[in-house]
Amino acid sequence: MNRNSLNFSGGPGALPESVLQQVQQAVREVPEVGLSILGISHRSDWFAAVIAELERNVRTLLALPDDYHVLLLQGGATQQFSMVPMLLLHGATQPAEYLHTGYWSGKAVRAAQGHGPVRVLWSGEAAQWWRLPRDAELPFSPTAPYLHYVSNETVEGLQFHRVLGLDEVPRVCDMSSDFLSAPCAAERFALIYAHAQKNIGPAGVTVVLVRDALLARAPEGLPDFLDYRTHAAAHSNFNTPPVFAIYVVLLVTRWLLHEVGGLARMAEINQRKAQTLYDLIDAHPGVYRGRAAVADRSRMNVVFELPDAAATQRFLAQAQAAGFSGLAGHRALGGIRASLYNGLTLEAVQRLAQFMEDFARHG
Ligand SMILES: *Cc1c(COP(=O)(O)O)cnc(C)c1O
């Protein structure tokens, strides 16, 4: 298969070549079924087996304890911004604690505020979102109903390289842009959510890992569809789920397990990819300036700036012509963003680094 461009966009991300080949086959016909993946019943035994294997693979990759549900939901991460407070903020007297570290966590804060008391424990706004908080800046309350944060701020290129919060307060984390890119100590979180379209598949499905005990806190009277218990009881097959998207996520988990060799190995590869670009950026301080504080640099989204708007435009035009797609920074921020999700190869990143080296030398 030959494509003309490499996908460095903020999302949906690149998928592994071997997965794309299987998808191509499956669109024509899933061999063991004899039908196109686009027309297989969600009530078939085959699809029940797909969900079961996907769930098993996620459990294996993360060494997830048995008391967690693995749910496959719709509505993206954005729906989780509301489903989480619907579950956990109902009737709360103490505020839930949120970290406002960038674009996506800001959306989560605004969604939660409609459901109950919310305290923004730390905001990066005064620092224009160039760094994350240190532990000393986070006076966590032991009586908060939960703590919510975003592990990787996709727009600003900031990533927490540690688990935050107090063990006695349920941790809730939006891992949409770094889920299954590295081990994440899942057992330390009460609820993790991550849509598929950055590291593990196409848009249309969102993985939620939730501790069973947390669901006991659900208020009565939630709409069925917005109640995690509905989906847990139905094994993620309550109404017609996105069969195609779920199948692709299954293929990616197989790839992670059997081709990559697990999340520690995936983390090494992702670390090398990110380091390749950060080294190049740091080697040319007159041309490139990394946006994030060095300690908080994301391994998924490398965000940097050029000296002025004209240089940025020249860089983007030349990169596009050379086959590097999606490098324009988020519309909220400008600049350049190279997103290095699981499916993007080290070789692709090395090619971008070579392009950036040439650009730094010759403009
Ligand atoms: C991309 C992104 C989102 C948005 O997710 P949707 O599935 O489009 O709702 C939310 N959170 C994070 C961290 C993201 O990177």
CA of 153 to the centre of ligand 1 (A): 9
Please tell me the predicted confidence (pLDDT) of residue 49.
Answer: 98
Query: Is pTM beyond 0.85 here?
Result: yes
What is the mean predicted confidence (pLDDT) over 272-280?
98
Whether 104 has a binding-site annotation, put simply, is: yes
Spatial contact of 267 and 300, defined as CB atoms under 8 Å apart: no
The residue annotated as part of the active site, out of 122, 129, 174, 227, is: 174
Per-residue pLDDT reduced to its tens digit, 100-142: 999 999 999 999 999 999 999 999 999 999 999 999 999 999 9
Per-residue pLDDT reduced to its tens digit, 50-69: 999 999 999 999 999 999 99
pLDDT of 1 strictly over 90: no
User: Alpha helix (H) ranges present in 29-116?
Assistant: 45-62, 76-88, 103-113
Structure tokens at 256: 């992670």
Residues 277, 319: one domain? yes
Element (H, E) at 313: helix 309-321
Task: Give me the domain span that covers residue 199.
Answer: 18-260
Query: Per the structure, how many domains does the chain have?
Result: 2
Residues 188, 135: one domain? yes
Q: Whose CA is nearest to atom 7 of ligand 1?
A: 76
What is the mean predicted confidence (pLDDT) over 320-325?
97
Please tell me the predicted confidence (pLDDT) of residue 349.
Answer: 98
Pocket of ligand 1 (CB under 6 A): 11, 76-78, 104, 150, 154, 174, 176-177, 195
From 240, 260, 280, the end of a domain falls on: 260
CA of 40 to the centre of ligand 1 (A): 28
Has 104 been annotated as catalytic? yes
Instruction: Compute the distance between CA of residue 108 and CA of residue 88 in angstroms, rounded to an integer.
Output: 14
Has 198 been annotated as catalytic? yes
Please tell me the predicted confidence (pLDDT) of residue 3.
Answer: 65
Residues 252, 276: one domain? no
Using a 10 angstrom Cβ sphere, with 0-12 exposed, 13-18 middle and 19 or more buried, the burial of residue 2 is: exposed
Q: Whose CA is nearest to atom 12 of ligand 1?
A: 176
Whether 77 has a binding-site annotation, put simply, is: yes
Residues 141, 177: one domain? yes
pLDDT of 4 strictly over 80: no
- Over the chain, what is the mean pLDDT? 97
Among 120, 117, 115, 171, which Cα is nearest to 146's?
171
Please tell me the predicted confidence (pLDDT) of residue 332.
Answer: 81
Per-residue pLDDT reduced to its tens digit, 131-173: 999 999 999 999 999 999 999 999 999 999 999 999 999 999 9
Atom of ligand 1 nearest to the CA of 10: 1
Examine residue 85 and say whether the peptide bond preceding it is cis (omega within 30 degrees of 0): no
Residue type at 133?
A: P
Whether 311 has a binding-site annotation, put simply, is: no
pLDDT of 84 strictly over 90: yes
Task: Classify 275 as helix, strand or coil.
Answer: helix
From 233, 260, 287, the end of a domain falls on: 260
CA of 282 to the centre of ligand 1 (A): 29
Residue type at 188?
A: R
Strand partners, 30: 35
Q: Whose CA is nearest to atom 8 of ligand 1?
A: 76
Residues 186, 272: one domain? no
pLDDT of 284 strictly over 60: yes
Residues 157, 270: one domain? no
Instruction: Compute the distance between CA of residue 119 and CA of residue 153 in angstroms, rounded to an integer.
Output: 19
Per-residue pLDDT reduced to its tens digit, 342-359: 999 999 999 999 999 999
Please tell me the predicted confidence (pLDDT) of residue 333.
Answer: 86
pLDDT of 200 strictly over 50: yes
Residue 223 maps to a domain:
yes
